[in-house]
Amino acid sequence: MNAGARVDEGRAELGALVELCSLPHMGPARLRALLSERDALEAIGQLRAGGAAVLAALGSCRGVDAPLVATWRRQVASACDRAALSGQPVGADLLDAHAHEDVWLWVPKRSDGDGLWESDPEPPALLFGQGAAVTTAVRRVGIVGTRRCTAYGRTVAQQLGSDLAAAGVAVVSGLATGIDGIAQRAALDAGGQVIGVVGSGLDQVYPASNRTLWADVAQHGTLLSEYPLGRRAAQWQFPARNRIVAAICEVLVVVESGSAGGSMYTVDAAAERDRPVMAVPGPITSAASAGTNRLLAEGCAPVCDVADVLAALGEPGRADVAPGSLGQLGPAIAEPLDRRVLDELSAGPRTLDELTLQTGASLGELASSLGRLQLSGWASEIGGWWEKSR
Amino acid sequence: MLATATAATLVGVDGHVVTVEVHISSGLPSFTIVGLPDAACREARDRVRAAVLSSGLEWPQGRVTVNLAPSGLRKGGAVLDLAMAVAFLAVTGQLPAESLRGRAFVGELGLDGAIRGVVGVLPLVDALRDRAVVVAPEAYHVARVAAPREVYAVGSLSTLASVLAARAPWPDPPHDPPAPAAVPVPDLGDVIGQPSARRAVEVAAAGGHHLLMLGPPGAGKTMLARRLVGLLPELSRECAMEATRVQSAAGLPLPTGLATRPILRSPHHTATMAALVGGGTTAIRPGEISLAHRGVLFLDELGEFAPSVLDAMRQPLEEGTVQVSRAAGACTFPTRFLLVAAMNPCPCGQAGRPNSCRCSDVVRQRYLRRLSGPLLDRFDLRIQVQPPDPDQLLDGVRGEPTTIVASRVRAARERAASRGVETNVELSGAQLEHHAPLTAAAHAALRERLRAGLLSGRGLHRVRCVALTLCDLADDEPEIDADRLNEALTLRASVDKLYAPAAA
């Protein structure tokens, strides 16, 4: 769908748009306000002419003042000078740089006809992408959640990611640590499609621990960003990124989220765009599930299995394709000690020392028991803390 | 006219015999020292002259030349003062020349003629073993450790002159030092609860496995490390000699002569490369890793040490010696020590505990990255130390005391000794296969771990070593069953898991 836009968009207009995107402190809201009454080429012209018109147009945006516009004016002026020297349109060098990194540009329009942005209150002016183009031919489910997930959230995100992949549904998420990355990794490993929307330039991996995942998504899926190459990650860019996740997915699943997590921005954005929001129930004692449980209380549909998600997508038939193990019983537990350990873990994360004292088992027996539980997927350990993961 | 006296000088942790030749001739009065003396050694001329005069002896006018042979060897410190003085007395006829024969003189002189102790008495006297050695009274007990032919403790130059001139008998040796007033060694019984940390400390002591403790502030990491030394058995005479040599050469106090208890060294994390590994500008001194030889090197706040300094320890850890080379020469120091390190898991100290760490992922990872993978790999025991259970803390029930645990450690070390090694860490792969076969269940557990990528080939060997130590501690047949193996795996927890808790 974006292929047409990519080719037909005049090179001059596109170059001007990228040039505007690359201005310091230029974000989606400012860009939208700027382009509401003029196109990118006109905006460039106005900036070069002194920027008074631009300052007037952006007057309502917080933080835009005369010095910032003056900075923009200087940057635009030097870009125009470069362009005049090379005989190319403004921003052509940026276009070439992006093309060199295999980054394609996508100018979403409300009138695109794919329904993605039709009713969007804040459509992005320009998206940068790597990998396959986004197509509405594939069903898309957003999986989001906290960065500081528990073992339970990790298991659920993994299972949902791979089950959706098996059902041929693309997983849309934010490529962050925690739930986002886990779901996408699982979907990739299961050979599914993924769309990762990031909050920095496509060459600025953040968080760095997700470098491999980032590269894999670019290679086997789609990587999207609102920001040009070279733009570093900044805190304010992530909530803005979440609205694109909400816009691209058809159903949003929140796996685990605290009551004030970033996932709640995605939920709000999805609600604004009439995307159904679903939540995975969690223990009411777990802070990491406070937000999702609140969503359920407010009337969101619960996710107990991938079938629930597929039903919300309107494709219940696909559930047969993915006989997920979520909601099913785990492997049987034979040893009485294992059962005692799991009982302890049901009440919350425990350290090895606590388990030794509470079960009265020797360190060796306990180590064996935890090893068995870990291999069968019942428990997992992070930094000395054991958690029940089913 | 010429007289010679024998002494020794310190190079690294070894003594080298030095012949002090004193020549006096007519000419303008002067006092010259040749033969590569350093500044302190050259200052001997003022000390020696004053000491001779204050001792009621004579300093005839003349041109005095002192040569320190071999002249290619750099001599440092005041250790040659006494030998210069007696050789001068001999050359001026105040002492019979033959009274210096077969004897060696190790000591610094005060301006009042007092003989003072010097740094490195043990290696110095060791180099002079086939002679009768005269030392300062405070150095007597350490000197006797080297077992030279005879040791005499003399307090002043005037006394020594009368003895050598056969006008007086050798003074009585100083009394044996009072039995060290039972130094309060911290007891393991103070550690309440924390079963896994106690276990790790015991295993480290028994098997010589390096130990890394991670845990939040106040969890008791430092407390555990200080109690580990008490678990180690007494040093054998040979080991004690090696350790005492280094400690003597570094000028550490040796109140009982031979250091029979393993030492604990805990350098601050601002330690430089030279301080930790050895080095120095004038003379090459042993570093902390050598001072901790046959003892425990405790690095608290491991994450705060300079990464380059930590990595410099890798080779000495593996080889047991370190060769420190400088333009002035090279020295080899022994470095067999038990490395115990403690650190917080992240700057705020709470990493790992679900939903309580305040550090960002970047900060946490940067904190870990200070430890290189190869260094982490040297730790066979990597445990999480969690704060003790509040109930137990308040109950006041003490843990198992040091004496009981130490006896288990001693028994385990005896078992290791029956395999021809001092501790289990020294066992090779083939020896392990021979001494500690795996049961079928353990085999299966290992295979699963290896398949799941939870264990590397290198880790496998270390885990089997630890499992064997666990058998030794239980006084069991050295056959490694699944429980032992799993316990060993638990004690060698993967550290990196801690730092990327939710990485995809």
DSSP A237-272: HHHHHHHHHHHH-SEEEE-S--TT-THHHHHHHHHH
Beta strands at B381-384 and B211-214: parallel, antiparallel or unpaired: parallel
Cα end-to-end span (Å), chain B: 85
Asked whether residue A107 is assigned to any structural domain, the reply reads no
Per-residue pLDDT, A58: 85
Q: B362 contacts in A (CB within 8 Å)?
A: 207-208
In chain B, what percentage of residues exceed pLDDT 90? 52
* Equal fold, B2-164 vs B188-499: no
Asked whether residue A265 is assigned to any structural domain, the reply reads yes
d(C-alpha A156, C-alpha A133), whole Å: 28
Place of tokens 């993978």: B373
CB contact (8 A) between residue B483 and residue A367 = yes
d(C-alpha B68, C-alpha A335), whole Å: 78
- Domain holding A357, by residue range, is 336-388
Which of A276, A297, A321 is a domain's end point? A321
Between the alpha carbon of residue A170 and those of residues A156, A188, A301, B7, B170, the distances in Å are 17, 10, 20, 85, 97
Mean model confidence pLDDT for chain B: 88
d(C-alpha B361, C-alpha B209), whole Å: 31
- Tokens representing A180 are 């986002």
Asked whether residue A165 is assigned to any structural domain, the reply reads yes
Q: B354 contacts in A (CB within 8 Å)?
A: 148, 150, 288, 349, 382, 385, 387
* Stretch B233-256: mean pLDDT: 91
For residue A350, give the chain B residue with the closest CA. Answer: B353
The whole-angstrom distance between residue A8's C-alpha and the CA centroid of its chain comes to: 29
* Residue A144: closest CA among A201, A188, A197: A197
Q: B448 contacts in A (CB within 8 Å)?
A: 375
Phi then psi dihedrals of residue B114, to 5 deg: -70, 145
Query: How many Cβ atoms sit within 10 Å of the Cβ of residue B450?
Result: 14
Q: Which of A167-176, B332-341, B364-373, B408-417 has the lowest mean pLDDT?
A: B364-373
Q: Does A154 touch chain B (CB under 8 A)?
A: yes
Query: How many Cβ atoms sit within 10 Å of the Cβ of residue B254?
Result: 18
d(C-alpha A91, C-alpha A76), whole Å: 9
Asked whether residue A83 is assigned to any structural domain, the reply reads yes
Per-residue pLDDT, A1: 43
Per-residue pLDDT, A327: 54
Per-residue pLDDT, B4: 95
Residue B481 pLDDT greater than 80, yes or no: yes
Same domain, A207 and A276: yes
Q: Give the length of chain B.
A: 504
Same domain, A217 and A307: yes
Per-residue pLDDT, B107: 95
Domain boundary assignment for chain B: 2-164, 188-499
Q: What is the largest CA-CA distance in chain B?
A: 90
User: Which of B185-189, B406-410, B473-477 ranks highest by mean pLDDT?
Assistant: B406-410
CB contact (8 A) between residue B483 and residue A177 = no
Instruction: Give residue-wise pLDDT tens across range B41-72.
Output: 889 999 999 999 999 999 999 999 999 989 88
Which of A97, A116, A150 is a domain's end point? A97
CA distance A28 to chain B (A): 26
Instruction: Give residue-wise pLDDT tens across range B94-124.
Output: 999 999 999 999 999 999 999 999 999 999 9
Per-residue pLDDT, B43: 92
d(C-alpha A24, C-alpha A71), whole Å: 8
Per-residue pLDDT, B155: 94
User: Which of A63-72, B48-57, B326-335, B377-386 ranks highest by mean pLDDT?
Assistant: B48-57
Amino acid at A324: G
To test the contact with chain A by mutation, choose from B343, B487, B498 the residue with the greatest count of A C-beta atoms within 10 A, namely: B487
How is domain B2-164 classified at the CATH fold level? Ribosomal Protein S5; domain 2 (3.30.230)
Asked whether residue A69 is assigned to any structural domain, the reply reads yes
Residue B407 pLDDT greater than 50, yes or no: yes
DSSP string, B336-387: --EEEEEE-SSTTS-TTSTTT--S-HHHHHHHHHTS-HHHHHT-SEEEEPPP
Same domain, A147 and A93: no
* Residue A137: closest CA among A108, A158, A166, A168: A168
Q: A375 contacts in B (CB within 8 Å)?
A: 448, 452
The CA radius of gyration of chain A, in Å to the nearest whole number, is: 24
Asked whether residue A351 is assigned to any structural domain, the reply reads yes
- Residue A188 C-beta-side C-alpha neighbours within 13 Å: 25
* Stretch B338-362: mean pLDDT: 79
Q: What is the DSSP letter of B24?
A: E
Asked whether residue A112 is assigned to any structural domain, the reply reads no
Task: Report the residue from B392, B482, B497 with minimal CB separation from A383.
Answer: B497
Q: What is the DSSP letter of B138?
A: G
Per-residue pLDDT, A5: 42
Q: A234 contacts in B (CB within 8 Å)?
A: none
Residues 6 or more apart in contact with residue B351 via CB below 8 angstroms: A383, B344, B345, B357, B359, B364, B498, B499, B501
Same domain, A57 and A192: no
Per-residue pLDDT, B100: 93
* Residue B478: closest CA among B437, B449, B440: B437
Same domain, A214 and A313: yes
Q: What is the DSSP letter of B178?
A: P
d(C-alpha A228, C-alpha B445), whole Å: 50
Q: What is the mean pLDDT of each run of 10 residues along chain A (390 residues)?
A: 47 90 90 88 88 83 87 92 89 91 89 81 92 90 91 90 92 92 94 94 88 93 94 88 94 93 91 94 89 94 91 78 54 86 86 87 88 85 80
Same domain, A159 and A279: yes
Per-residue pLDDT, B429: 85
Domain B188-499 class in CATH: alpha beta
Count up the domains in chain A and report the number.
3
Same domain, A238 and A277: yes
Same domain, A86 and A218: no
Per-residue pLDDT, A7: 41
Same domain, A151 and A198: yes
Per-residue pLDDT, A247: 93
The angle formed by the CA atoms of residues B363, B365 and B367, to the nearest 5 degrees, is 70
Between the alpha carbon of residue B195 and those of residues A364, B189, B361, the distances in Å are 12, 12, 30
Q: Does B381 touch chain A (CB under 8 A)?
A: no
Instruction: Give residue-wise pLDDT tens across range B227-242.
Output: 999 999 999 999 999 9
Q: Does B351 touch chain A (CB under 8 A)?
A: yes
Same domain, A212 and A352: no
Same domain, A88 and A231: no
CA distance A362 to chain B (A): 9
Q: What is the DSSP letter of B114?
A: B
Q: Which of B30-34, B58-62, B495-499 has the lowest mean pLDDT?
A: B495-499
Residues 6 or more apart in contact with residue B184 via CB below 8 angstroms: none
Put simply, the chain A residues between 310 and 369 with a CB less than 8 A from any chain B CB are: 349, 351-354, 356-357, 362-368
Same domain, A243 and A362: no
In A281-378 the beta strands, taken as DSSP E runs, fall at 301-302, 350-351
Asked whether residue A105 is assigned to any structural domain, the reply reads no
* Stretch B313-335: mean pLDDT: 90
- Tokens representing A250 are 């058809």
Task: Report the residue from B196, B503, B504 with minimal CB separation from A352.
Answer: B196
